[in-house]
Amino acid sequence: MLLQQKSSSCSAENSTNGSGVCALDDPASTVLPLAIQFAIFAGLIQISTNLHNDYADFVKGADTDSRVGQARATQKGWLTPYETCRGCVLCLFAALLVGVNYLIPTNNLCGVGVDDLEYDPVMIFTVISSLFNAVAYTGGPFPLGYIGLGNLSIGYSGLGDLFVFAYFGVVATVGTPYLYLTKVACFSPTTSQAQQLLYSSFLYSIPIGFLGTAIIVVNNLRDRNTDIHAGKKTMAVRFGGTFAKMEYFILVMGSYGFCIYFWLLERERYHDNDSTAKAWMALLPLLSFPMAIPQLKAVSFGVKDGQALNEHVGGTAKLQMIYCILMAVGLVASS
């Protein structure tokens, strides 16, 4: 329950989708170890963000007895703020170890751009920014208060939607193909072949990021009335419930619109009749659309509000998970 709050539920699936994009470039490539490493890192960052959010929302007054969302460990008294912070720090430290030992070092046989480069600057930025954003998402006195940034908060300033799209959508999906290029294929990211693969990965990350962001939109739509009193200026608070409902509709429908777009791209890619069937694999995520219908009816067109929206936070997370799995299967099947 503690790990369900205000986050994308699909870090591991996003990394798997990145592996599928790699398969498009080189079906014989072995990307599973890289995908597992990056999925562990992304999962630890997600858990850290959730734990710190649990702590910071409580100490900043957003989680009170009037909370309408799912139960929170700190708010309910199951854990003290110190214990929640300790869990966050342990997860951040574990993520740092994964990053330093597996993501940041370059392959001795490859290098990135410069032959004697030992550490990948892109992965250094990814690891450091992910660690920082995990605590900057909600902010609060610990640990940012110790460096004079206690008032900094991505979520409280209305940038939470963008953060989730960027890190739990784009970064989580593109990370594995990037690692494949620099550690297995030994391509510099500046080569045309590498850029083509990274561009494809970015395109596939967009619908995944859309659905991840949709989870936050439902969450913020549900909490907007209590967030106002806590000074939490989410998009739902800034622009109102109607805006949030339309945003949710655009994000969910946009993710399925990309399926059609990918299908058109694949049709151009395959010219012979024997391979045309592979293009239809791009439409595989459409099989999850029946799961999206009740979510759209309730969130975008229904009258549910407050606590009644709790089931649709989890419902949207399940939708994203199934969508990701179907997309990954389609990518591998079409390789």
Mean pLDDT across the stretch 14-34?
59
Query: 6: pLDDT confidence band, cut at 50, 70 and 90?
Result: very low
The type of residue at 135 is V
pLDDT of residue 189: 82
Mean pLDDT of the chain: 86
Query: 109: pLDDT confidence band, cut at 50, 70 and 90?
Result: low
Mean pLDDT across the stretch 109-135?
81
pTM above 0.75, yes or no: yes
99 pLDDT more than 60: yes
Q: In whole angstroms, give the CA distance from residue 107 to residue 282.
A: 33
Structural tokens at position 149 = 């940034």
**Partners of 105 in beta bridges:** 119
Q: Which residues contact 141 (CB under 8 A, 6 or more apart)?
A: 59, 150
